[in-house]
């Protein structure tokens, strides 16, 4: 196994995702390879430091922020549906649904409609 492949084993070791055989293989390599051994020490230190960071709670709920906009968009859809003849494709509504995720300014524009 190459050093590059050992790095993947190191990451999986830190995730507690190695079989006994893989763990033995990694440790045998670390004894022989100073470069990988140094990297593994740094990864273990980093993993330990990251696990000690305080939990971060967002100041607001993303769901709570999005739900009112979805309700507004649904109201707009209702109005547009009434104006359009039935059985016609509605590309504008499809584009507006992309705006849900913030990928399109069209969603914002539709939400701002009176």
Instruction: Considering only the stretches 29-37, 43-51, 57-65, 100-108, report the one whose residues sit in contact with Zn ion under the rule CB under 5 A.
Output: 29-37
| C-beta neighbour count of 13 within 10 angstroms | 19
Report which DSSP code applies to 113.
-
- Residue 1 in the binding site for Zn ion (CB under 5 A): no
> How far apart are CB 12 and Zn ion at their closest, in Å?
15
Query: Can residue 3 be called a binding residue for Zn ion (CB under 5 A)?
Result: yes
Query: C-alpha distances in angstroms, 45 versus 24, 38, 89?
Result: 21, 11, 56
Contact status, residue 18 vs residue 26, Cβ threshold 8 Å: yes
| 111 contacts Zn ion (rule: CB under 5 A) | no
Cβ nearer to Zn ion, comparing 1 with 65: 1
Pick from 36, 73, 96, 110 the residue near Zn ion by CB under 5 A: 36
């Amino acid at each position: 196994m190459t050093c590059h492949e050992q790095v993947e084993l190191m990451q999986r070791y830190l995730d507690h995702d190695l079989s006994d055989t893989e763990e033995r293989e990694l440790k045998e390599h670390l004894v022989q390879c100073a470069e990988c051994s140094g990297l593994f020490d740094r990864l273990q230190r980093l993993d330990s430091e990251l696990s000690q960071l305080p939990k971060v709670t967002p100041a607001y709920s993303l769901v709570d922020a999005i739900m009112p906009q979805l309700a507004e968009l649904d109201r707009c859809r209702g109005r547009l549906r009434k104006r359009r003849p039935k059985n016609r494709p509605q590309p504008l509504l499809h584009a507006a649904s992309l705006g849900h995720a913030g990928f399109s300014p069209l969603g914002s524009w539709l939400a701002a409609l009176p």
